[in-house]
Amino acid sequence: MKITLSAIKADIGSIGGHIIPSDDLLMEVEDYIDKAVGDLIFDYFIGNIGDDITILLSHELGSNSEKIHRLAWDAFLAGTEIAKEQGLYGAGQDLLSDSFSGNICGLGPGIAEITFDERENESFLLIAADKTEPGAFNLPLYLGFADPMYNSGLILAPAIGKGFSFTVIDVSHTEGDRVIELVTPEEVYDLVALLRDNGRFVVESIHTRTTGAHTVACSTTRLRNIAGKYVGKDDPIMLIRTQKDFPATGEIIAPYEIGHIVAGFMRGSHTGPLMPVRAGSGISFFDGPPSVSCLAFCVHNGILTEPSDLFDHPYWDWVRNNICVKTHEIRRQGFSGAAMLPYSDLEYGGITVRMEQLENKFKIRGR
């Protein structure tokens, strides 16, 4: 049976700042989506990471379905009304367009979709992050799919050992999608040359080289490019099919123990380690830390199991403690150097105005 998984996320308002959606808000989105079961969709799951709401839908309308995108858009609009009624902060934050015109891409919400012939045992992961950008997934995807230090399947499982095809998008290019396909292992150095630049080159999808099956889909929205100014970080969402011809679930999540430093901490202007947290966690220290959650599901005939929260395990408590130390260390240097994003990336306009004012005060000595 051919099904599509659509994961769509948006920040439409949260309690106490950019922290967490209210229960009423989550319930409104869920009630809206629930009405579509048996009609447009087979099944759904609603969750959140920090202030971002995630809608996961299973259906047979294919990727880029206008009906599915409209359903998610309308659910977010309905939620926004509740967010306004409750006075939530940033109500409707990610809904950047006044009207829906057929496809949710480019309107603000992030979207990741995979259409596939359901396997007998179809396991997949829903990975979502807050206070960071889609490029935050570059390193864990590279390590999980191309590095035998993390993915033992590359040497142990012949199908996986054939490597993968990465589609990478240049998110700075706003006139149309500028994409490149690179295969591992042959083109691994070219791939890394791009993926080191999380702010510009982002893994959009990964396919196997054995059958061409689609295993990873990642949202690549750049809100700043849509709105023309900073309106919140492009908190990403990702779907990954696992096991058999794809990496094992444990191989995919292993790189998240690194707590690699990503962009998006406080005001989208600082850097900090990416912390794996329980799904549904809120945000706290310094409007962060940048956080990632991972839920595992199986799906059969379009019906989802309950999720298993992979970062809700004692191992990750130890990881979180380590990442707290790393977070503390970078925060100790406040605004200095690597603790903040480079000037070109500073998202709020305030510093631009300040620098313009200072411009007139500069003098060239000796003239």
Contacts to Mg ion by CB under 5 A: 11, 18, 51-52, 90, 130, 232, 235
Shorter beta-carbon distance to ligand 13P: residue 42 or 246 = 246
Beta carbon of residue 139, minimum distance to ligand 13P (angstroms, whole number): 21
Beta carbon of residue 9, minimum distance to Mg ion (angstroms, whole number): 9
Q: Please tell me the distance from the alpha carbon of residue 149 to that of residue 211, in angstroms, as a whole number.
A: 24
Question: CA angle, 248 as apex, 219 and 314 as ends, to 5°?
Answer: 90
- 11 has catalytic annotation: yes
Give alpha helix (H) positions in the chain.
23-34, 66-85, 138-146, 153-156, 158-161, 188-195, 223-227, 249-253, 265-268, 314-331, 350-359
Shorter beta-carbon distance to Mg ion: residue 131 or 320 = 131
Residue 153 DSSP code: H
Cβ atoms of 210 and 109 within 8 Å: the answer is no
Return residues touching ligand 13P (CB under 6 A).
Answer: 11, 18, 50-51, 90, 93, 130-131, 232-233, 235, 243, 248, 250, 266-268, 287
Q: Sign of torsion, CA 67 72 73 77?
A: positive
Cβ atoms of 136 and 128 within 8 Å: the answer is no
Closest residue by Cα to residue 58 from 322, 298, 321, 284: 298
Count Cβ neighbours within 10 Å for each residue of 215-233 and write b for 16 or more, e otherwise. Answer: bbbbbbbbbbebeeebbbb
Shorter beta-carbon distance to ligand 13P: residue 90 or 199 = 90
Which residue in the list 52, 150, 233, 287 is annotated as catalytic?
Answer: 233
Beta carbon of residue 265, minimum distance to ligand 13P (angstroms, whole number): 8
Q: Please tell me the distance from the alpha carbon of residue 181 to that of residue 55, in angstroms, as a whole number.
A: 28
Beta carbon of residue 230, minimum distance to ligand 13P (angstroms, whole number): 8
The residue whose Cβ lies closest to Mg ion is 18
Shorter beta-carbon distance to Mg ion: residue 130 or 251 = 130
- 32 has catalytic annotation: no
Closest residue by Cα to residue 185 from 171, 205, 169, 164: 164
- Look at residue 109 and give the partner it binds from ligand 13P, Mg ion, none, a contact being a CB closer than 5 to 8 Å depending on partner kind: none
Identify the helix (H) or strand (E) that includes residue 5: strand 2-10
Closest residue by Cα to residue 131 from 52, 199, 203, 219: 52
Beta carbon of residue 57, minimum distance to ligand 13P (angstroms, whole number): 22
User: Which amino acid makes up residue 255?
Assistant: P
Which residue in the list 74, 162, 230, 312 is annotated as catalytic?
Answer: 230
- 235 has catalytic annotation: no
Beta carbon of residue 208, minimum distance to ligand 13P (angstroms, whole number): 16
Shorter beta-carbon distance to ligand 13P: residue 16 or 102 = 16
Shorter beta-carbon distance to ligand 13P: residue 43 or 122 = 122
Active-site residue list: 11, 230, 233
